[in-house]
């Protein structure tokens, strides 16, 4: 038994995508890139620069010593106190950044960084006030050159965050500019004006440098993202390859078992017939052959269905689906009155009828298999959700249940609980794998509540159908096998099949039923040699050699004899073929064809002839 644990909601398969969605996604991606670049710029701006700080501090000590000797010791000491304070702040109390960043925390960290950078540069800029000697033009010019040199150094070292760097340069140059214009001689005033021009030029230079840095960071981030995506794609490809190998290995194992059983039982039957064994022993061998063939057919059908689901070969067509008739029909198919239904008569869901039926049929089959005693309940109740009214569908059983630790893995391919011996009579472990794939296509989430020995509850929600949507009538099911109903001898059956083994098998079975098979290997041969007026039934394989396939042949046969009963036969019968057959009144038999299905086609032809006569 394999449930699907609570999983993230799948994307709805039916609603149309909103207009402009690609543009929204592009804008969101650009915003994310910009955010990542800003975070990286801030990280670069606050990284430790211990050796650089030490060198800067020594240079500042030299500048202070020079002006203490040439101008004023107290003023030089006051400036060194400021320099020591801001250097200690930056060296011993660095800014700590949040990890991870959020838009709010990034803005807050940028503000803190800007204030700290401003304090750092303002401390250096106070040299323009404390070390400015109004009486000595040479010392003023020297101080101006020193501060401008600090400015050039700060533009490339103090920060990479543009607002912080621009504010820092302004605070560094403003004191010397103001003092030069206020107390300096004409030459110093000219230097102060040059300092103002230098401020404007440095603003532009800093902005351009920051832009280039952000571009480089963006390229590096893109390269890292592409590398991570490539590695993730490689890992996903390796994982998918491993999953495929595991899938085909398990499929190969399970396919070989019924094939081996058929081979062994065929040899037993051959010896029994040669030795004249009693009929009861022969019947037992034939029964074993039939069970092995059924197991092989069941596994083949499930593998084909998985392939069609993954290839999206059958497009989804949401319609109004009446749940009560569908559930009652599934309960009737389960037989032995083991499945009960509790569903409001007016429960009508909006979903793809075929896919929904497959989901429910597999869940019911799974519940019945793993409930040796007791019953299974199909329950439906109304639910309200933000998207509108819905119906909650549950399949409840009192079976063996599933341990919490196994609920995550049992929904995989070829996974089963309580069937370690791989008894093929209890399935192959693919039923709920099909449910998982179909649920993903339908956009529903299948949930599970289960405990060992206490049964399981599978459930999912379906959107309620619009009020004005009318559910179509439940499609009629195949009639019960008609093998017990005799066919009249001499029923003329055209068989067009290019596979010699299949053609011989059909011919043998038709002969056993006392029909008159006319077997041909191509459409052209059948049209040229068969007496179409004498035919009662035509069995047309779809894939035929030559220019005419089975559908084209069936079309010509119907044109020449409208009363002819026609059945298309193929392993690739999809929804389009089923619709075409229904429109033209044909039957559609999917290989491997069961004798009961073939018998039903012949019986319908016989009944049609009786009605016409």
Digit-coded pLDDT (tens) for 451-461: 888 888 888 98
Segment 257-295, tens digit of pLDDT: 667 777 777 887 888 888 888 888 888 888 877 777 766
pLDDT at 392: 92
Q: Where in the chain is the domain with CATH 3.30.565.10?
A: 318-463
- The residue that leads in pLDDT, 430 or 133, is 133
pLDDT at 281: 81
Please give the helix or strand (H or E) that residue 374 lies within, else none. none
pLDDT at 56: 83
Say yes or no to pLDDT of 494 above 90: yes
In this prediction, residues 541-546 reach a mean pLDDT of 89
In this prediction, residues 326-344 reach a mean pLDDT of 84
Q: Where in the chain is the domain with CATH 3.40.50.2300?
A: 492-612
The answer to whether 140 and 180 are in contact (CB under 8 A) is: yes
Segment 155-184, tens digit of pLDDT: 667 788 888 888 888 888 899 889 888 988
pLDDT at 7: 43
Distances (CA, A) of 37 to 65, 99, 131, 158, 351: 42, 15, 40, 19, 45
pLDDT at 482: 42
Dist. CA 323–CA 331, nearest whole Å: 12
Q: How confident is the model at residue 13 (pLDDT cuts 50, 70, 90)?
A: very low
Hey, which residues does 34 pair with through a beta bridge?
none
In this prediction, residues 117-145 reach a mean pLDDT of 87
In this prediction, residues 466-478 reach a mean pLDDT of 56
Q: How confident is the model at residue 472 (pLDDT cuts 50, 70, 90)?
A: low
Burial class of residue 393 in the structure, from the number of CB atoms within 10 Å of its CB (0-12 exposed, 13-18 middle, 19+ buried): buried
pLDDT at 84: 92
Q: How confident is the model at residue 15 (pLDDT cuts 50, 70, 90)?
A: very low
The answer to whether 49 and 157 are in contact (CB under 8 A) is: yes
Q: What does DSSP assign to residue 11?
A: P
Say yes or no to pLDDT of 24 above 60: no
Q: How confident is the model at residue 2 (pLDDT cuts 50, 70, 90)?
A: very low
Both tokens assigned to 318: 């949401």
What is the fold of 492-612?
Answer: Rossmann fold (3.40.50)
Q: Which residue has the tokens 């401390």?
A: 123
pLDDT at 539: 93
In this prediction, residues 10-26 reach a mean pLDDT of 43
The answer to whether 458 and 447 are in contact (CB under 8 A) is: yes
Segment 189-248, tens digit of pLDDT: 888 888 888 888 888 888 888 888 888 888 888 888 788 888 888 888 777 677 666 666
Both tokens assigned to 494: 């055209």
Say yes or no to pLDDT of 474 above 50: no
Torsion of CA 523, 526, 531, 536, to 10 degrees: -70
pLDDT at 3: 44
Say yes or no to pLDDT of 18 above 50: no
Say yes or no to pLDDT of 473 above 80: no
State residue 439 phi and psi, 5-degree precision. Answer: -60, -40
State residue 465 phi and psi, 5-degree precision. Answer: -70, 150
First-to-last C-alpha distance (Å) of the chain: 53
Dist. CA 40–CA 44, nearest whole Å: 6
State residue 379 phi and psi, 5-degree precision. Answer: -120, 140
pLDDT at 593: 83
Say yes or no to pLDDT of 40 above 60: yes
Q: How confident is the model at residue 427 (pLDDT cuts 50, 70, 90)?
A: low
How wide is the angle at C-alpha 550 spanned by C-alphas 505 and 479, nearest 5°?
A: 65
pLDDT at 410: 65
Asked if omega into 100 is within 30° of 0 (cis), the reply is yes
What mean pLDDT value characterizes the chain? 80
Instruction: Give Dmax over CA atoms of the chain in angstroms.
Output: 135
In this prediction, residues 320-346 reach a mean pLDDT of 85
Region 318-463: CATH code = 3.30.565.10
Dist. CA 449–CA 429, nearest whole Å: 19
In this prediction, residues 106-112 reach a mean pLDDT of 90
pLDDT at 557: 92
Asked if omega into 592 is within 30° of 0 (cis), the reply is yes
């Amino acid at each position: 038994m394999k449930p699907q644990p609570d999983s993230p909601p799948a994307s709805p398969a039916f609603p149309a995508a909103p207009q402009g969605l690609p543009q929204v996604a592009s804008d969101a991606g650009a915003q994310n890139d910009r955010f990542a670049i800003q975070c990286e710029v801030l990280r670069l701006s606050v990284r430790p620069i211990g050796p650089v700080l030490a060198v800067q501090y020594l240079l500042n000590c030299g500048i202070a010593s020079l002006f203490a000797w040439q101008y004023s010791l107290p003023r030089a000491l006051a400036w060194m106190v400021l320099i020591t304070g801001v250097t200690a702040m930056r060296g011993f109390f660095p800014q700590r950044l949040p990890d991870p960043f959020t838009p709010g925390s990034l803005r807050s960290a940028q503000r803190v960084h800007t204030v700290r950078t401003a304090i750092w540069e303002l401390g250096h800029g106070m040299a323009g006030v404390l070390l400015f000697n109004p009486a000595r033009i040479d010392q003023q010019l020297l101080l101006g050159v020193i501060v401008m040199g600090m400015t050039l150094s700060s533009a490339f070292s103090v920060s990479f965050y543009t607002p912080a760097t621009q504010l820092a340069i302004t605070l560094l140059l403003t004191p010397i500019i103001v003092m030069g214009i206020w107390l300096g001689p004409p030459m110093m005033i000219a230097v102060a004006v040059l300092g103002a021009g230098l401020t404007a030029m440095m603003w532009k230079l800093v902005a351009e440098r920051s832009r280039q840095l952000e571009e480089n960071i963006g390229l590096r981030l893109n390269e890292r993202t592409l590398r991570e995506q490539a590695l993730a794609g490689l890992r996903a490809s390796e994982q998918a390859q491993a999953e495929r190998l595991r899938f085909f290995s398990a499929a190969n194992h399970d396919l070989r078992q019924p094939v081996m059983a058929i081979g062994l039982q065929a040899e037993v039957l051959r010896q029994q017939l040669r030795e004249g064994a009693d009929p009861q022993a022969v019947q037992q061998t034939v029964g074993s052959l039939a069970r092995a063939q059924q197991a092989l057919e069941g596994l083949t059908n499930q593998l084909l269905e998985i392939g069609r689901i993954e290839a999206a070969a059958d497009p989804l067509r949401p319609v109004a689906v009446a749940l009560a008739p569908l559930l009652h029909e599934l309960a009737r198919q389960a037989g032995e009155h083991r499945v009960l239904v509790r569903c409001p008569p007016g429960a009508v869901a909006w979903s793809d009828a075929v896919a929904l039926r497959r989901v429910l049929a597999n869940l019911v089959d799974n519940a019945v298999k793993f409930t040796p005693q007791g019953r299974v309940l199909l329950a439906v109740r109304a639910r309200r959700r933000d998207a509108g009214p819905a119906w909650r569908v549950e399949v409840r059983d009192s079976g063996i249940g599933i341990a919490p630790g196994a609920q995550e893995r049992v929904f995989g391919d070829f996974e089963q609980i309580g069937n370690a011996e791989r008894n093929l009579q209890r399935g192959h472990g693919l039923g709920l794998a099909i449910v998982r794939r179909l649920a993903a296509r339908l956009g529903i989430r299948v949930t599970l509540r289960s405990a060992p020995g206490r049964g399981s509850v599978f459930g999912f929600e379906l959107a309620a159908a619009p009020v004005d949507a009318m559910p179509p009538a439940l499609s009629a099911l195949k009639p019960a096998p008609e093998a017990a109903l005799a066919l009249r001898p001499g029923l003329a059956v055209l068989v067009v099949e290019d596979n010699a083994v299949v053609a011989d098998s059909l011919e043998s079975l038709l002969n056993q039923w006392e029909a008159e098979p006319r077997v041909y290997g191509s459409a052209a041969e059948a049209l040229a040699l068969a007496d179409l007026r004498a035919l009662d039934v035509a069995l047309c394989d779809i894939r035929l050699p030559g220019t005419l396939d089975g559908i084209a042949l069936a079309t010509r046969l119907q044109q020449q004899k409208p009363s002819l009963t026609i059945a298309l036969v193929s392993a690739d019968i999809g929804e389009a073929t089923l619709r075409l057959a229904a429109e033209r009144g044909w039957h559609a038999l999917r290989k491997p064809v069961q004798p009961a299905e073939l018998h039903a086609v012949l019986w319908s032809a016989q009944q049609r002839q009786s009605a016409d006569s």
